[in-house]
A and B are shown apart, each in its own frame.
Chain A
């Protein structure tokens, strides 16, 4: 998995800065060129800033996930990366230069899935895929390639169906297949798993990882916060600001201030126990039920045994202790916090 080196967060209102070094299973490669760089990027429409203070850098084969609530600026960020939008401040670099200034021939390096599937109702699934393949310059002898991507999105056997007769999920999968068909090294996917069932979502993420392993870089936005766990680097956006950047584990830790663990006692939890846990280095100690406390420590693996020993010294019986992999929804809520609706 990737390792992300994150800068210390600035004030939440001014965004956060993060960067990824070489990632992926092939091992670190510090000399890898920067694939995407957002350098103090802001975009506004009229007086309203949609995205501001965006500093993110992705190098090498990585899956960069962008999560955030609806309207947080994910699609705008994606459009800045594809060159559809030009930033009003800062600089965007994709594969070495400004995406808005890329020559036509250089754009074959980008595969783009817009948020809404761009498909023609009167054409069959095969014809739509064929059209997108041609549009991206895939040579005419491409039947095998088309079959492969259709197979990937589990649409084999449905080729002749017209798009207007296909379900929303099928259309979504076809749009994804159309993005993958020309095998671009950089894939920018705006909510690729929206409207797709969980089983197929998992397969698609497996394929994304396989693409990464094959050297591709993927930028994926999603509203399924749990899908952040599939990414190498996650950017959490809220109201146009970067709330956090990092690996999924780092963000989880960031959300709660460390690792989360639960300790179930043989007796009821009392003040003496909570005091001892705090003094032993737990940043948070919360009561889950009368017999269970939930604690946050810097490194659960090393600190949890010490905590258990301390409780034994106090003659407090411990029935069970576990490091908790907190649900991503919870982590996301913790990161974003409670927003002012205004």
Chain B
């Protein structure tokens, strides 16, 4: 009987490794509730997240407080549509106390307080300070309040400034408008000369002088801005040409004004030629709109991605990666601890089995379970939650296999360091927390500095999250760093686990 019960050496290895696969899988299948939780749990959480997450909540409800009837109130009213991009306008009032009460009651997220008399401050050479009040304790929300409020305030500030500038420098109008006005005024002047209407001649010449001065100021401002932004030679030359043409026109208008009582149609014809000259030069000169003078830059963000990435899309691959790491890590950790607690290590020591075969069996078993759970999760997320799968599926498979292998090794190491099953569970929870904070789940890896960042690179989930996001969301191939990271962590954790298990199975 002994002979028939002794297989060949390779066959025995397969039989022994198969023993662990069957045993671990059977033990897990005996816990259907656990499997349901593992597969359905994360799916349901993401489903609830997708359904329940209101991205509009990210737009802060903001109340504005300032003097009644002030320039701010007018600006906010006029700018209501534009303001919606940045904040949810919760109204304008002059009652700061009431606004603060609303803030304390949680009815609004922020209060923007305008100074009582901004124009005086500005005119006296001081900046008028706009204060933003909020009641957030979450640092991320604090940053959101500050950024949103600042952007909104900057935008509003510019609007107000534009208004102030427009009021104070009424003549700073676009060159097209000034030239059109000059054309009109020329028509009136020609008629007045023909009809010898001296009063109209004087009035029109005064208006012409103002219009010419407006074009001159705009030209000067444009020249200064062009200098400030380092305009090229051609731009600078065209502005100089405009300046010269406008100066000549201004001189002619002054000359006509001096001889206003003796003007003839020829004078009008000469003036027409100079106006045409200014128009011709202005058509090519890079004059700048007064609105642009106030706000030279506007921003428009565009993504290189073909499709927009929703919040739940962004987190879903990371959630799958984190869940898979946590699941197989916990299985591996608990499995070896259970074996040791039961006394199975003593059986291993006496029996015809070594650390490598024990580990091979555990790896295969948990990779099988992890792969099934991972495939089920991803498939259901793609099918039912619309999670994009823009890259090659084979890379997702490679990533998951690598993540599972590295995580199992990690779990085995933790189990061999743990002294009890309770300690193993605690280690697994710590690994989960580390994955959440340092694995790039919701905080960018670049936010960490060395040596803490080394912890990120030591976690398999870091590479898993990056790889799945790259492949599934960007549609890109995984980076060499992530593939190498998974390979290295698999090897390092595997060797460490083998070394520890081999040592623990040695004779004492």
Interface string of B475-508 (1 = CB under 8 A from A): 0000000000000000000000000000000011
Contact of A84 with B346 in the complex, beta carbons under 8 Å: yes
Contact of B2 with A185 in the complex, beta carbons under 8 Å: yes
Interface string of B11-47 (1 = CB under 8 A from A): 1100110110011001100110000000000000000
Contact of B350 with A139 in the complex, beta carbons under 8 Å: no
Contact of A137 with B343 in the complex, beta carbons under 8 Å: no
Contact of A134 with B347 in the complex, beta carbons under 8 Å: no
Contact of A86 with B1 in the complex, beta carbons under 8 Å: no
User: Does B167 have its Cβ within 8 Å of any Cβ on chain A?
Assistant: no
Contact of B342 with A120 in the complex, beta carbons under 8 Å: yes
User: Does A278 have its Cβ within 8 Å of any Cβ on chain B?
Assistant: no
Contact of A134 with B22 in the complex, beta carbons under 8 Å: yes
User: Does A100 have its Cβ within 8 Å of any Cβ on chain B?
Assistant: yes
Contact of B343 with A127 in the complex, beta carbons under 8 Å: no
Cross-chain contact of B507 among A85, A120, A130, A137 (Cβ < 8 A)? A85
Contact of A134 with B18 in the complex, beta carbons under 8 Å: yes
Which of A101-109, A262-270, A330-338 has 4 or more CB atoms under 8 Å from chain B?
A: A101-109
- How distant is the Cα of A145 from the Cα of B5 in the complex, in angstroms? 9
Query: In the complex, what's the smallest C-beta–C-beta distance from A87 to chain B, in angstroms?
Result: 10
Given the interface pairs A136-B351, A182-B5, A183-B2, the reply to whether A84 lies near B508 with Cβ below 8 Å is yes
Number of B residues near A (Cβ < 8 Å) is 33
Given the interface pairs A118-B342, A127-B23, the reply to whether A86 lies near B350 with Cβ below 8 Å is no
Given the interface pairs A112-B351, A139-B7, the reply to whether A127 lies near B26 with Cβ below 8 Å is yes
Given the interface pairs A83-B507, A139-B7, A140-B15, the reply to whether A108 lies near B347 with Cβ below 8 Å is no
User: Does B353 have its Cβ within 8 Å of any Cβ on chain A?
Assistant: yes
- How distant is the Cα of A112 from the Cα of B346 in the complex, in angstroms? 9
Q: In the complex, which residue of chain A has the Cβ closest to the Cβ of B338?
A: A120
- How distant is the Cα of A105 from the Cα of B12 in the complex, in angstroms? 9
User: Does B349 have its Cβ within 8 Å of any Cβ on chain A?
Assistant: yes
Contact of B346 with A118 in the complex, beta carbons under 8 Å: yes
Contact of A122 with B1 in the complex, beta carbons under 8 Å: no
Interface string of A73-91 (1 = CB under 8 A from B): 0000001001111100000
User: Does A67 have its Cβ within 8 Å of any Cβ on chain B?
Assistant: no
Neighbouring A residues of B306 by C-beta, 8 Å: none
Contact of B350 with A83 in the complex, beta carbons under 8 Å: yes
- How distant is the Cα of A176 from the Cα of B383 in the complex, in angstroms? 51
Contact of A122 with B27 in the complex, beta carbons under 8 Å: yes
Contact of A131 with B9 in the complex, beta carbons under 8 Å: no
Neighbouring B residues of A122 by C-beta, 8 Å: 26-27, 30-31
Contact of A120 with B27 in the complex, beta carbons under 8 Å: yes
Cross-chain contact of B346 among A105, A114, A138 (Cβ < 8 A)? A114
- How distant is the Cα of A162 from the Cα of B342 in the complex, in angstroms? 16
Query: In the complex, what's the smallest C-beta–C-beta distance from A146 to chain B, in angstroms?
Result: 11
User: Does B164 have its Cβ within 8 Å of any Cβ on chain A?
Assistant: no
User: Does A123 have its Cβ within 8 Å of any Cβ on chain B?
Assistant: yes
Chain A 129-161 interface residues, beta-carbon cutoff 8 Å to B: 130-140, 142, 145
Chain B 329-388 interface residues, beta-carbon cutoff 8 Å to A: 338, 342-344, 346-347, 349-354
User: Does A237 have its Cβ within 8 Å of any Cβ on chain B?
Assistant: no
Contact of A110 with B15 in the complex, beta carbons under 8 Å: no
Query: In the complex, what's the smallest C-beta–C-beta distance from A273 to chain B, in angstroms?
Result: 58
Contact of B15 with A134 in the complex, beta carbons under 8 Å: yes
Neighbouring A residues of B30 by C-beta, 8 Å: 122-123, 162
User: Does A14 have its Cβ within 8 Å of any Cβ on chain B?
Assistant: no
What are 12 sample pairs from A and B whose C-beta atoms fall under 8 A apart?
Answer: A84-B508, A85-B508, A105-B352, A107-B351, A118-B346, A122-B30, A122-B31, A127-B23, A135-B353, A139-B11, A139-B15, A162-B30
Q: Which 5 A-B pairs have the closest CB atoms?
A: A134-B19, A137-B12, A100-B507, A112-B350, A107-B352
Chain B interface residues toward A at CB < 8 A: 1-2, 4-7, 9, 11-12, 15-16, 18-19, 22-23, 26-27, 30-31, 338, 342-344, 346-347, 349-354, 507-508
